């Protein structure tokens, strides 16, 4: 059985136009056992190329999902959010998670020093090695701020945007040496991030967005998933990061094999902010 998808965007996210119901119907078509919407909430996102911030009206979001839960009572549909973490929005984030009963909260680093690494100027200012290291530094800083979340989103997704990867993707596959180089260069800080997550009882996700982007690996890379396991980490959730229904549960047929190779025998889903454990099929 294909596992359920726990990182899914809809038109409540600024960068998606997909109706919630379309994602839900696709989940039913694929035979997913459940689904969790995790739309973007990035407070104080510098607006560039987007008409508005990555922000949604929370009451409307809850009532839209509740309506779908009533319409499809036999299908477990959960309410999540993907919070963009950065230090100046800690109070807003804590207020959101303290005031609303989400099932699942993903914490993600989308901005590094208030710049989205999606844009070339991020890399022009720092260069590749420093741009990647700074992302991990900011991730660690975010972790030390006591944000309230369940798993860290797409750890290492910075690699999707770095110029060498983009160039390699245009000519074919990304050489494995690239991942090894940047893993080895950042191993210490990645281990510190993972230890910090483990000590706080928080997980990471296997995000198949990296496979969709042509990295040849999920985010994070298997080396990071294995390191998390070796350090004693147990909590892994699964997400496609789909912004369109055609990407829902993207490459989910591969996730059990990937996780088993990294030393896991089960994965988690969240309901009322509590982990439900499921065996890898
Ligand atoms: Zn994200
Ligand atoms: Zn996302």
How far is residue 262's CA from residue 250's CA, in Å, rounded to a whole number? 19
Domains along the sequence of the chain with CATH: 5-279 (3.20.20.140)
How far, in Å, from the CA of 245 to the mean position of ligand 2?
Answer: 14
Task: Report which of residues 141 and 51 the model is more confident about.
Answer: 141
Residue pair 189/136 in contact (Cβ under 8 Å)? The answer is: yes
If DSSP codes are grouped into helix, strand and coil, which group holds residue 140? helix
Q: What is the pLDDT of residues 21-41, one digit of tens each?
A: 999 999 999 999 999 999 999
Confidence of residue 50 (pLDDT cuts 50, 70, 90): low
Contacts 24+ apart (CB under 8 A), 214-218: 214/169, 214/173, 214/174, 215/159, 215/160, 215/165, 215/169, 215/174, 216/173, 216/174, 216/176, 217/179, 218/255, 218/258
What is the DSSP code (8-state) at residue 15?
A: T
How far, in Å, from the CA of 63 to the mean position of ligand 2?
Answer: 21
What average pLDDT does the segment 193-220 reach?
96
Task: Report which of residues 175 and 59 the model is more confident about.
Answer: 59
Residue 94: other Cβ atoms inside 10 A: 14
Q: To the nearest whole number, what is the mean pLDDT of the chain?
A: 95
Q: Which ligand is nearest to the CA of 5?
A: 2
- Say how many residues make up the chain: 281
Q: Which two tokens stand for residue 186?
A: 């950042």
Q: What is the pLDDT of residues 65-111, one digit of tens each?
A: 999 999 999 999 999 999 999 999 999 999 999 999 999 999 999 99
How far, in Å, from the CA of 18 to the mean position of ligand 2?
Answer: 14
What average pLDDT does the segment 242-254 reach?
97
């Amino acid at each position: 059985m294909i596992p359920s998808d726990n990182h899914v965007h809809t038109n409540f996210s600024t960068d998606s136009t997909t109706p919630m119901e379309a994602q839900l119907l696709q989940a039913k078509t694929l035979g997913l056992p459940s689904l969790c919407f995790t739309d973007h909430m990035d407070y104080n996102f510098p607006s560039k190329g987007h008409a508005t911030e990555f922000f949604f009206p929370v009451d409307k979001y809850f009532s839209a999902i509740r309506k779908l839960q009533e319409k499809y009572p036999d299908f477990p549909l959960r309410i999540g959010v993907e919070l963009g973490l950065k230090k100046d929005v800690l109070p807003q984030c804590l207020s959101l998670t303290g005031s609303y009963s989400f099932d699942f909260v993903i914490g993600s680093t989308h901005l590094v020093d208030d710049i989205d690494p999606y844009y070339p100027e991020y890399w022009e200012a720092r260069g590749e090695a420093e741009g990647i290291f700074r992302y991990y530094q900011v991730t660690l800083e975010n972790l030390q701020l006591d944000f309230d979340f369940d798993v860290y989103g797409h750890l290492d997704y910075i690699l999707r945007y770095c110029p060498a990867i983009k160039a390699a993707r245009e000519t074919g596959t990304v050489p494995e040496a690239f991942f090894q180089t940047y893993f080895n260069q950042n191993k210490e800080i990645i281990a510190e991030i993972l230890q910090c997550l483990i000590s706080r009882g928080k997980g990471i996700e296997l995000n198949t967005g990296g496979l969709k982007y042509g990295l040849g690996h999920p985010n994070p890379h298997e080396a990071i998933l294995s390191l998390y396991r070796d350090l004693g980490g147990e909590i892994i959730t699964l997400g496609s990061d789909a912004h369109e229904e055609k990407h829902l549960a993207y490459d989910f047929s591969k996730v059990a094999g990937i996780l088993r190779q990294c030393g896991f025998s089960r994965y988690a889903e969240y309901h009322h902010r509590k982990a439900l454990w499921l065996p890898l099929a």
